[in-house]
């Protein structure tokens, strides 16, 4: 359906003269679920942050292509949904207000139907007017999914998608990921077997470089 | 090596000429300087004080150029160069302030008068100080490099206000102030040609001195960095 | 428009948490009362009151204006902002927020000040107002970009005035001069050069900030 591609070429990240990874090259060229795994400290989170354009790379390039068109860095955020344990939403607003503000700042119409549907799916509908301050970490994690899915992104980047979630939360997430995968590129950075089993292909990060797995990319 | 010898010769000449050449009423011989009314022997500060502040400005400029370079290329070596230039800059900035201040005591009557030029060198000191304070507050090297680069560029764009605009629109004691009847800095008038020659040689010597010190400094910073990190 | 929405979010958040406002109000009170105590029953000259006004404004600005970025950094919501807005939007939004804060704060300070100090009489009020507006824009823009730098650095509180002072000084010196002029009753035409300096300063700082903000924002 959508012909979005994420191309990574010779990506290198150095933090204060310390090498995180070097010369990573791959391409996510089809919709579906793609995985990134590797030991703690192998640079998974750094890699997904670079993919999402939150931090810059030291060398190499990440290209997001929509059809033939390159997406410029200042438009990139419109096409990306991102969920991670270290993502924080505004504490002083309720879930509803958080989502409203985000919509306005992105300048996309507030799709009430979709938001209500998602709120119901993630069992937050009844608490939608409570301040996020009072949420448990699992609830916050679920809210982040709504935040990430609300604007129908072309790329969904999930860093440790199931952290803090109970088993019913996990099931909802898997269900949603699988339905999203039909129309978007879903990238999962995780070490959990159950997360990775969903993926069509997994990239292994190890000792500064990348090891291919399964079929070639 | 060539540059070092040139530097040595120039510096030696400037120091000997600047200090020992006599100031007489009607200069006839090649080594005699003319009297500038109101300054007399004290006029000789121009051979050392002005080049010192000149070096400060070059150091600041170099530091900014390499800050821009760092932001473009993200090469930590450029950051080391910017940092090294700033380190030399602050030393000479202090020297210029101190020499100027001592001289002011004898010529203008007090160590500090808040003359616009004094304000501007004080500003440069503050900027350098802030630059080092910022650098020491940040742990991660990339962050340290890019934030201090941004800061030094922002400081650099506001500095012309001090160096070029303030002294012109505010009254002051230095040559070239708003209430100074002479059009330009002291260089354009009252100095005869041999005085000018020594002055410009001194500027050249200090410029070479800066580049020599700067190269030594940034190399040692980079080596130290590589030794402690042992990587890349 | 996006920047305006971001600005509205900040305002709403500020109204809820009172992160900056409380500190600011107290700071204004504290500085003004310190000045009052130190003056006592002494009669001070007009020029000195003009100068002290900018001292109060500078220190109050230093107490509250870094919040725009520091609050995001402290709560860890920076990444969220990354994901919903481009750097330009973020900077414009924060700049708007600081502009409102600076204007509100400085109007309060100036009013309080003219009530308290009888010797603070401006012969040319319109010149002062022009200078005041231009000065506020300058203070807001340079303190916004410095706040962005500070937010990413470690020791936030103490470093802010240290970094801001050299950047703000040409502005403050010019403003002092202009305040002196308006106390003397000089016309706008006579203060043409100083006003141009203010405008140049604002243009230079704003351009530099928009160009450089990208580098601060993306770490």
Instruction: Please state the domain extents for chain A.
Output: 4-211
Q: Which of C 61-100 lie inside 8 A of A, CB atoms?
A: 75-77, 79-80, 82-89, 93
Q: How far is A213 from chain C (nearest CA, A)?
A: 30
The pLDDT of C77-94, averaged and rounded, is: 90
Question: Which residues of chain B lie closer than 8 angstroms to C149, CB-CB?
Answer: 134, 147, 150-151
What per-residue confidence (pLDDT) applies to C203? 93
Q: How far is C149 from chain B (nearest CA, A)?
A: 6
Q: Are B130 and C163 in contact (CB under 8 A)?
A: yes
Q: Residue A82: name the closest of A159, A16, A164, A5 by CA.
A: A159
What per-residue confidence (pLDDT) applies to B186? 45
Cα gap B32→C89, rounded to integer Å: 65
List residues in chain A touching B: CB distance below 8 A.
14-19, 56, 58
Per the listing, tokens 């390159």 go with A70
Q: Where are the domains of chain C?
A: 2-217
Residue B30 lies in a domain: no
Q: How does pLDDT run across C40-65, given as a tens digit for each residue? A: 877 788 888 888 899 899 988 888 88
Any idea how long chain B is? 232
Token representation of residue A64: 């997001």
Number of domains present in the structure of chain B: 1
Q: How far is B174 from chain C (nearest CA, A)?
A: 18
Q: Which of C12, C83, C86 sits opposite A82 (nearest CB)?
A: C83
B193 vs C25, more confident: C25
Number of H helices and number of E strands within chain C?
Answer: 9, 0
C193 touches chain A (CB under 8 A): no
Q: How does pLDDT run across C100-116, given as a tens digit for each residue? A: 999 999 999 999 888 88
Residue B101 lies in a domain: yes
Residue B5 lies in a domain: no
The pLDDT of B94-103, averaged and rounded, is: 89
Angle B141-160/C156-184 helices, nearest 10 degrees?
A: 10
Q: Residue B127: name the closest of B119, B139, B138 by CA.
A: B119
Cα gap B61→C85, rounded to integer Å: 34
3-state secondary structure of A153: coil
What per-residue confidence (pLDDT) applies to A1? 47
Question: Which letter does DSSP use for residue C204 in this model?
Answer: H
Cα gap B50→B55, rounded to integer Å: 9
Fold of the CATH domain A4-211? Rossmann fold (3.40.50)
Residue B20 lies in a domain: no
Question: Which residues of chain B lie closer than 8 angstroms to A58, CB-CB?
Answer: 74
The pLDDT of C67-88, averaged and rounded, is: 87
Question: Which residues of chain A lie closer than 8 angstroms to C14, CB-CB?
Answer: none
Q: Which of B126, B142, B150 sits opposite C216 (nearest CB)?
A: B150
Q: Are C136 and C106 in contact (CB under 8 A)?
A: yes
Token representation of residue B11: 């510096």
The pLDDT of B108-131, averaged and rounded, is: 84
Regions of chain A where pLDDT drops below 50: 1, 214-217
* Structural domain span for residue B180: 45-220
Question: Which residues of chain B lie closer than 8 angstroms to C219, CB-CB?
Answer: 140, 142-143, 146
Q: What value, to the nearest 5°, has the Cα angle with vertex A210 and ends A209 and A212?
A: 155
What per-residue confidence (pLDDT) applies to C123? 84
The pLDDT of C58-78, averaged and rounded, is: 86
Which residues are CB-neighbours of A192 under 8 A, at least 6 positions away?
A: A160, A162
* Mutation to test the A interface, candidates B142, B143, B228, most A Cβ within 10 Å: B142
Question: Which residues of chain B lie closer than 8 angstroms to A19, CB-CB?
Answer: 231-232
């Amino acid at each position: 359906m959508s012909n979005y591609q994420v191309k990574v070429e010779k990506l290198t990240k150095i933090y204060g003269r310390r090498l995180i990874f070097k010369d990573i090259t791959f391409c996510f060229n089809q919709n579906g679920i793609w995985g990134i795994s590797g030991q703690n400290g192998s640079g998974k989170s750094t890699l997904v942050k670079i993919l999402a354009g939150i931090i810059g790379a030291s060398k190499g390039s990440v290209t997001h292509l929509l059809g033939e068109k390159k997406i410029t860095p200042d438009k990139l955020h419109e096409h990306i949904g991102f969920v991670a344990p270290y993502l924080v939403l505004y504490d002083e607003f309720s879930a509803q207000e958080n989502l409203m503000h985000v919509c306005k700042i992105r300048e996309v119409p507030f799709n009430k139907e979709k938001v209500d549907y998602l709120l119901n799916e993630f069992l937050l509908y009844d608490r939608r007017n409570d301040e996020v301050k009072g949420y448990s970490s699992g609830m916050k994690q679920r809210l982040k999914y709504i935040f990430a899915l609300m604007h129908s992104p072309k790329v969904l980047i999930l860093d440790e998608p199931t952290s803090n979630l109970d088993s019913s939360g996990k099931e909802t997430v898997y269900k949603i990921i699988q339905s999203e995968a039909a129309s978007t590129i879903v990238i999962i950075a995780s070490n959990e077997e159950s997360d990775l089993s969903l993926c069509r292909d997994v990239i292994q990060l190890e000792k500064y470089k990348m090891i291919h797995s399964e079929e070639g990319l | 090596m060539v540059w070092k010898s040139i530097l040595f010769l120039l510096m030696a000449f400037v120091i000997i000429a600047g200090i020992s050449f006599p100031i007489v009423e009607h200069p006839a011989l090649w080594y005699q300087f003319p009297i500038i009314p109101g300054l007399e022997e004290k006029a000789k500060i121009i051979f050392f004080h002005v080049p010192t502040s000149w070096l400060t400005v070059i150091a600041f400029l170099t530091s900014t150029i390499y800050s821009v370079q760092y932001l473009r290329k993200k090469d930590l070596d450029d950051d080391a160069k910017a940092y090294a230039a700033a380190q030399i800059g602050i030393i000479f900035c202090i020297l210029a302030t101190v020499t100027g201040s001592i001289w002011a005591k004898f010529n203008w009557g007090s160590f500090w008068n808040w003359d616009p030029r004094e304000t501007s060198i004080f500003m440069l000191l503050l900027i350098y100080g802030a630059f080092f304070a910022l650098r020491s507050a940040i742990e991660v090297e990339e962050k340290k490099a890019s934030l201090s680069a941004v800061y030094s560029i922002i400081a650099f764009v506001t500095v012309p206000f001090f160096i070029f605009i303030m002294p012109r629109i505010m009254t002051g004691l230095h040559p070239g102030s708003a209430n100074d009847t002479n059009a330009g800095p002291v260089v354009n008038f009252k100095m005869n040609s041999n005085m000018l020659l020594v002055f410009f040689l001194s500027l050249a010597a200090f410029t070479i001195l800066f580049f020599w010190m700067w190269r030594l400094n940034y190399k040692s910073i980079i080596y130290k960095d590589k030794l402690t990190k042992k990587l890349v | 428009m996006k920047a305006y929405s971001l600005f509205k979010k900040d305002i709403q958040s500020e109204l809820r948490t009172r992160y900056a406002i409380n500190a600011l109000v107290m700071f204004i009170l504290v500085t003004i009362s310190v000045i009052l105590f130190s003056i006592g029953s002494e009669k001070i000259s007009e020029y000195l009151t003009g100068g002290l006004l900018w001292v109060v404004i500078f220190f109050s600005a230093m107490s509250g204006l870094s919040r725009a970025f520091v609050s995001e950094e402290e709560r860890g919501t920076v990444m969220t902002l990354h994901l919903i807005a481009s750097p330009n939007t973020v900077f414009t939004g924060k700049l708007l927020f600081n502009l409102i804060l600076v204007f509100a704060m400085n109007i309060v300070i100036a009013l309080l000040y003219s009530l308290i100090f009888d010797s603070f009489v401006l012969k040319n009020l319109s010149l002062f107002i022009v200078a005041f507006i231009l000065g506020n824009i300058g203070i807001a823009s340079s303190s916004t970009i410095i706040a962005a730098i500070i937010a990413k650095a470690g020791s936030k509180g103490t470093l802010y005035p240290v970094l801001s002072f050299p950047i703000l000084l040409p502005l403050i010196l010019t403003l002092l001069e202009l305040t002196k002029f308006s106390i003397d009753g000089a016309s706008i035409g006579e203060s043409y050069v100083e006003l141009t300096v203010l405008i140049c300063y604002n243009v230079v700082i704003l351009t530099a900030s928009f160009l450089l903000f990208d580098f601060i924002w993306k770490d």
